[in-house]
Structure 1
């Protein structure tokens, strides 16, 4: 049944690399704050070491995880077997938001294909890995990736995407500011003068 590990084992890494979707959980500190759970698709997850992982975060209608990490760093990542032997694998860790134009971005970005609409990278220092049976999870068969988000983001200019971020991604549901929101409010240019959208395009 359930087992707890201090770091990823090789078999855990192999399982993660086979998955087409993963889930991200985070929450604010306030007792009446909203717990967030987000599904993530596309090839955006990377394993750096048995205790460090990260994912390329694409534009969405909210930015809850980023706000929560800025406030308290807590994050849980979950991978589920929808094919083959049953398994649920959770990574518990401390997360951080990595924005374009920072030293950490220059270190992390080469690990990814920078898809249209990439707004930040979420880096995670893992302190616990937990597996559980997943016996009740149904079988699902992967068909293909959706390209809707990438087509939408690619159709936007840098200014248009920045305006979207300003309106949708600057604060959480509970009013917690995000690093991206502060960046836009400060109108801090990137090193080469391009907008965030233009800088993250392949």
Structure 2
């Protein structure tokens, strides 16, 4: 049976800190595709307090989450355990995309590893409620390690390839919603440390 809370409780926080991945679900305001994305790299996400969750947005194959949040900020984050502790945790709230050149980015930067070469921005979730449920049907799976392919691929990209991703690949969602702005910073322009 599901249990609902008004915040990320200490128990839920401990569970989140033990996870290696999570899923993000967003949808446009009207017609359009609902998007669910798996996210990995344990140094890219964190519950910052009882009502705030954030994660680094790395360049990928699309721009659905950012495009959706612009017109419909509703977002769900889901963690599920694949080991002996059967549990599913959902964070419900509103999200916003923070560009690397936004002053707010500097406030969040110390919580994350900014060395990922495909750094695109940050998603901040204002958590309104949470849910814990059994997860009894989630299969047991064993983690072999993080997949380094995304970082490796991004580390090989030249500045002109990044510019093309901003201008042509991530400029709109699959439903035609606006994605990255033409002046969005390229990953090669993002500071990796903030004094």
Per the normalisation by structure 1, the TM-score is: 0.90
1:152 alignment counterpart? 153
Gaps of 5+ in 1: none
Q: Offset of 1:17 from its aligned partner?
A: 0.6
Q: Offset of 1:110 from its aligned partner?
A: 1.9
Tell me how large the CA RMSD over aligned residues is.
1.5
Once the two structures are superposed, the pairs formed by residues 114-129 of structure 1 within 5 Å of their partners are 114=114, 115-129=116-130
Q: Where do 4+ consecutive residues of structure 1 move more than 4 Å? A: none
Partner deviation per Cα, 1:69-109 (whole Å, 9 max, x = no partner): 01111100000010122111000010000001111111112
* 1:37 counterpart = 2:36: yes
> In the alignment, which of 179, 189, 193 is matched to residue 198 of structure 1?
189
Equivalent residue pairs, number:
191
Deviates more, 1:153-162 or 1:114-123: 153-162
Once the two structures are superposed, the pairs formed by residues 63-102 of structure 1 within 5 Å of their partners are 63-102=63-102
Q: Offset of 1:157 from its aligned partner?
A: 2.5
Partner deviation per Cα, 1:105-146 (whole Å, 9 max, x = no partner): 111122111111010100000001011111111100000111
Alpha carbons of structure 1 residues 159 and 107: separation in structure 2 relative to 1, 3 Å? farther
Q: Offset of 1:200 from its aligned partner?
A: 5.2
Q: Work out whether residues 119 and 200 of structure 1, in 8 Å CA contact, stay in contact via their aligned partners in 2.
A: no
Deviates more, 1:157-166 or 1:137-146: 157-166
Per the normalisation by structure 2, the TM-score is: 0.93
3-state SS in 2 of match to 1:129: strand
Q: Work out whether residues 25 and 76 of structure 2, in 8 Å CA contact, stay in contact via their aligned partners in 1.
A: yes
Deviates more, 1:157-166 or 1:85-94: 157-166
* Aligned equivalents of 2:192, 2:136: Cα separation in 1: 40
2:21 alignment counterpart? 21
* Aligned equivalents of 2:191, 2:86: Cα separation in 1: 36
* Aligned equivalents of 2:110, 2:188: Cα separation in 1: 16
